[in-house]
Amino acid sequence: MLNAVGRDIPNELDGRKLKPFKGAFSFKPKKRLYAPPMKAVFPGEEKLISLKEAVKKFVDDGMTISFHHHLRNGDAVVNMVVNEIAKQDIKDIKLAPTALFPVHEGLKEHIKNGVVTAIEGSLNGPLGEFASYGNIPHTVVLRSHGGRARAVRAGELHVDVAFLAASMADDYGNANGMFGKSAFGAMGFAFADSMHADRVVIVTDNLQPYPIAPISISQTFVDNVVVVDSIGDPSGIQTGTMRITRSPARLNIAKNVVKFLAKAGLLKDGFSFQAGAGGTSLAVTKFLHDYMKAKGIVGDFVMGGITGYVVDMLEQGTTKRILDGQDFDLRAVESIGRNPNHVEVSHIDFGDPHTGGCIVNRQTACFLGATEFDLNFNVNVNTHSDGLLLHGIGGHQDAAAGSFVTIIVAPLLRGRIPVIRKEVTTVSTPGETVDVIVTDRGIAINPRREDLIEAVKGKMEIVEIEELYKKAKSLVGEPKEPNFSDEIIGIIEYRDGTILDVVRRLK
């Protein structure tokens, strides 16, 4: 069964029936939201318990437990909870983190021992590689940020217990990520889980008198509160990719993005965009800010992944508001705690397609990376050309589907590896939602977007995507195909729950 991006999707896999992807806006849900059980905490009942007690009280063999990844590579909560689960000899756990990082590599031991047998969530680095070689018993499921929120709300990703790290909480479970020694800023990933997990445990290293403010997660959603020494190291939020690129080629890509937006007539009052991390995206943000400031343009909002570069825009008046689901550096964390125009939003708000309308729908533009893109404008952000599953989808699908103009920023080559392919190794985001590809060796526009082609005609050099392909081929030839077996180790869900692609085991 070939889906709408030409991938062969099995009818059933690992006990789950799969619906093939039929187009970015072809599926409207008829279901109801998942309804968690009602709680009843009466006056006088206390909610503070130890992690040991929380695991004993709520976790059992075969359950699904969830986490957010706001502390990214500094997170200590996933390891702490899974270690406690292992200690209590509980087996066959499905992990449903929003994302895992190199810091979670120790989970490999728990997978080998049968404590963890399934992961649904973004796999960044070593655990992705581990999955690529078939080491995780169940098929891993990757979802976009908005798609995961949707899946939790739909009950397709049913969470038995959510363990939600908070850098500030009170003993009744009101929680935020904005203050405290481990402050990480917006808590966008935690909202869907707090509202739809059957049980919710706040894990904090900063207990403050009741009631704290601001209240990101309300006490009413929380079963218990666990106090630990440290939920992690917030310096792990800011990884190496959070600096503006110094590569002249990539700086040139960033300049061309701004030039394209200006030539297309989109850079005017009201402009909004999705910011991201990564050296090129950061450069785009910086150059946009400079351009808008010079021209006196005031944008409506920037949606993030927020960095200090976006905080500059708010503070210097090139955007009116920041909508913030997660923070990528400590300047952003500091800003959200004090600026009322720096607004915390959930990842339901950000990108859940099965709502009354998510924020991405209102973005003028977004700038997204790629490990590969292809002649159909399909984009891969999950696997590398060698087939290794090394990254999550992030907000890629969501931003691409929602934004008026989706711009992929990528070099044409990475060393001797072409980024442009005839067909991407893995379809992470369908080409029908990708509009412009800005490389260091030319800009291509998706032929579906005649309006954009028309808008920049004669103002800027645009090339056919086939030309980019030929250029890459002439420089480095065809790349080696990955050494895949037939076995499927991962599913790439589209944000609406249909299946975009599968990832196969490497030999």
Does 345 help bind its own copies (rule: CB under 8 A)? Answer: yes
Residue 22: alpha-carbon gap to chain centroid:
22
In whole angstroms, give the CA distance from residue 318 to residue 113.
53
Exposure string over 9-25, b if 16+ CB within 10 A, otherwise e: beeebeeeebebbeebe
Interacting span for its own copies (CB under 8 A) from 219-227, 328-336, 374-382, 417-425: 219-227
In whole angstroms, give the CA distance from residue 417 to residue 241.
20
Q: How many residues bind its own copies (CB under 8 A)?
A: 65
| CB-nearer residue toward its own copies: 74 or 304 | 304
Does 421 help bind its own copies (rule: CB under 8 A)? Answer: no
CB of 49 to its own copies, least distance (A): 13
CB of 221 to its own copies, least distance (A): 6
Backbone angles phi, psi at 233, to 5 degrees: -115, 105
Binding mask 112-151 for its own copies (x = CB under 8 A): ----------------------------------------
Backbone angles phi, psi at 308, to 5 degrees: -55, -30
- Considering only 341, 454, 464, 477, the residue that binds its own copies (CB under 8 A) is 341
**Cβ-based neighbours of 206, under 8 Å, separated by 6 or more:** 166, 167, 168, 169, 179, 180, 181, 182
**Cβ-based neighbours of 89, under 8 Å, separated by 6 or more:** none
Interacting span for its own copies (CB under 8 A) from 26-34, 63-71, 233-241, 307-315: 26-34
| CB-nearer residue toward its own copies: 50 or 113 | 50
Cα–Cα–Cα angle for 291, 393, 260, nearest 5°?
25
Residues within window 383-402 making contact with its own copies, judged by CB under 8 A? 401-402
Does 214 help bind its own copies (rule: CB under 8 A)? Answer: yes
Q: Which residues pair with 324 in a beta bridge?
A: 304, 344
Does 268 help bind its own copies (rule: CB under 8 A)? Answer: no
CB of 50 to its own copies, least distance (A): 18
Does 404 help bind its own copies (rule: CB under 8 A)? Answer: yes
Does 102 help bind its own copies (rule: CB under 8 A)? Answer: no
Q: Which two tokens stand for residue 189?
A: 């990933």
| CB-nearer residue toward its own copies: 111 or 400 | 400
CB of 459 to its own copies, least distance (A): 25
Distances from the Cα of 295 to the Cα of 254, 288, 299, 364, 402, angstroms: 18, 11, 12, 18, 27
What spatial distance separates the first Cα and last Cα of the chain, rounded to whole Å? 25
Does 213 help bind its own copies (rule: CB under 8 A)? Answer: yes
CB of 307 to its own copies, least distance (A): 19
**Cβ-based neighbours of 298, under 8 Å, separated by 6 or more:** 269, 270, 292, 317, 318, 319, 320
Does 321 help bind its own copies (rule: CB under 8 A)? Answer: yes
Whether the CB-CB separation of 383 and 373 falls below 8 Å is answered with no
CB of 354 to its own copies, least distance (A): 4
| CB-nearer residue toward its own copies: 136 or 358 | 358
| Contact set with its own copies (CB under 8 A) | 25, 28-45, 47, 153-154, 172-173, 200, 209-211, 213-215, 218-223, 270, 300-301, 320-321, 323, 340-341, 343, 345-346, 348-349, 352-362, 401-404
